[in-house]
Amino acid sequence: MSKKILILVLAIGIVISLMISGIAFADQQIVISWYPQNYYQPKSYPQLAQVVESVVKGYEELHPNVKIVLVPPVPTDYTTWLNTQMAGGTEPIIGWDFYTTMWEQTGWWIPLNKYLDEPDPYAAPGQGREHWKDAFPDYLIQTLKSPDGTCYTISFDWTETALVYNKAIFDKLHLSANWKTWGEFIDTLAKLKQAGYIPFGMQMSNTGWSLETWADAIVTSACFADQVPQMIMKSYENRSTSYDGYTWQALAPEEIVKAMYDGIYSPYNPRFVDFLNIMKEWSQYWPSGYNANIPLNSLFYSGKLAIMWIGSWQYNDLLLPSSKPPFPWGITYLPPFTRKEIPTLPMQFLNTSFRVGGPTGTGSYGITVRAEKEGIVKQAVDFLMYLSTPQTMGKIMVDADMDIPMLKGVELTPGMENFQKVTAMPPVALGGPGSRFLTTYYNDYQTTIEEYLMGSIDLKATQQKLQQIFDNNVKAFATQYHYDWYK
């Protein structure tokens, strides 16, 4: 055999080898596990589960070599479960968590920024969607970004909150839930307590999210409303909006931390004292032991609790025959504050409360580092892009009627229309403590506020403890995210 022929044979062999390798790669099945959170509960919501399964099947038909494995809700504490899965390398390829939590879970989640700027292959022609991010409102993407500008999650929905009240109790006591002012609201709570009922359902935790963090965000934002324009940094001015002519925005964590550094958001600011006073008075009408894991649902359904604060994802439970309350109920919301409670409150906010909702609902998904280890990040991104249409994730959200859809082209469902009044309110400027403090200092902050509300420490001791927490938090934030203004 001549040298030329030998080279030709070897070349043909290499080509055939590469072809076979390519075919094997194309035919190799890729498995993407997806944790849809509450959107996939086959036992509780079998019809919704079928919708999710049909959407998944549609993707698998488009991509025969990809298998989507649906992970049902975990029966235990999700945080503990996820920590265990991450430690063992068995976490879902596409997982769920709060976007603020993802910021601190270093090395767990894949940054999505560059993918959000990529073309969206599933966008319908003529929708003006050149990039994946165009499927969502810009303010959503901006909200999801970490203090260093990294986006680890995409949220298909937005939670809002409302108050559900027992109409039978209100009718019996001749009370109205259409409060015009905070004073009327507190007066109603006092009458409910005098009549032997638990007026308002509240829970507080110093190690994680709780209902009280919603209250904290609303009251803090109201008390510091007149100083919010001072807290806006030049680098975030593009996020500013106007509420009735007043400059307003949901502040980025860096802006809040700098406000701590500048002494604006400070425990010694009279506005913070207003915050403590409001929370202290309100807490007198919360259940005994609100700092423990008390069963608010059971108290409400038994007729002992008059008002329960719910998220939009809980609305369906009020309608299902198996879980609806055994009494008539109504939907309302927290009333506006006045200058009696907050002397510095701008006039624009005398007739409105604040909404505390955000992209923390069921449909907040990120891609875990397991996808990178298995070399399937692009496939996981592609599946999330596929979900970003009214015909896919939009269909799931409409059927679920749990949260407010954030996908463009998906209309509010009848159930979510109950939250429409709330969505028209200005957002909280200072989000919950979880977005203001790193985990260690969040826990310290919550513990100190709890001690003050329960009477364990006085105002002076509270301010002293909080100032130390604020200082430590600023230093930790500035060190972690390299803030150039920190000296």
Mean pLDDT, rounded, of the chain: 90
The last residue of a domain, from among 417, 436, 451: 417
Residue 245 domain-assigned?
A: yes
The angle that helices 439-453 and 270-283 make with each other, rounded to 10 degrees, is: 60
Residue 90 domain-assigned?
A: yes
Read off the pTM. 0.77
Q: What is the pLDDT of residues 8-52, one digit of tens each?
A: 333 333 333 333 223 333 457 999 999 999 999 999 899 999 999
Tokens describing residue 96: 């769920």
Residue 17 domain-assigned?
A: no
Q: What is the DSSP string of 230-248?
A: HH--GGGGGG-EEETTEEE
Residues 193 and 339 in one domain: yes
**DSSP secondary-structure letter at 18?**
H
Mean pLDDT of 409-435: 86
Residue 346 domain-assigned?
A: yes
Q: What is the pLDDT of residues 217-235, one digit of tens each?
A: 999 999 999 999 999 999 8
Residues 196 and 98 in one domain: no
The last residue of a domain, from among 417, 434, 462: 417
Q: What is the pLDDT of residues 51-67, one digit of tens each?
A: 999 999 999 999 999 99
Residues 232 and 317 in one domain: yes
The beta strand positions in 71-134, using DSSP E, are 94-96
Can you give the pLDDT at residue 11?
A: 38
**DSSP secondary-structure letter at 430?**
S
- Three-state DSSP state, 121: coil
Residues 97 and 186 in one domain: no
Residue 22 domain-assigned?
A: no
Do 260 and 483 form a contact (C-beta atoms < 8 A)?
A: no
Residues pairing with 162 in the sheet: 310
Residues 213 and 319 in one domain: yes
Give the number of other Cβ atoms within 10 Å of residue 391's Cβ.
13
Q: What is the pLDDT of residues 309-365, one digit of tens each?
A: 998 888 888 887 888 999 999 999 999 999 999 999 999 999 999 999 888 889 999
Give the number of other Cβ atoms within 10 Å of residue 76's Cβ.
8
Residues 150 and 170 in one domain: no
Residues 50 and 131 in one domain: yes
Mean pLDDT of 287-311: 94
Do 348 and 246 form a contact (C-beta atoms < 8 A)?
A: yes
Residues 107 and 222 in one domain: no
Do 456 and 253 form a contact (C-beta atoms < 8 A)?
A: no
- Give the torsion sign (CA, 163, 403, 125, 142): positive
Do 120 and 388 form a contact (C-beta atoms < 8 A)?
A: yes
**Domain of 439: which CATH number?**
3.40.190.10
Do 113 and 132 form a contact (C-beta atoms < 8 A)?
A: no
Do 220 and 342 form a contact (C-beta atoms < 8 A)?
A: no
Residues 248 and 312 in one domain: yes
What is the domain range of residue 176?
A: 161-358+422-481
The total of structural domains in the chain comes to 2
Residues 443 and 412 in one domain: no
Residues 290 and 400 in one domain: no
Give the number of other Cβ atoms within 10 Å of residue 6's Cβ.
10
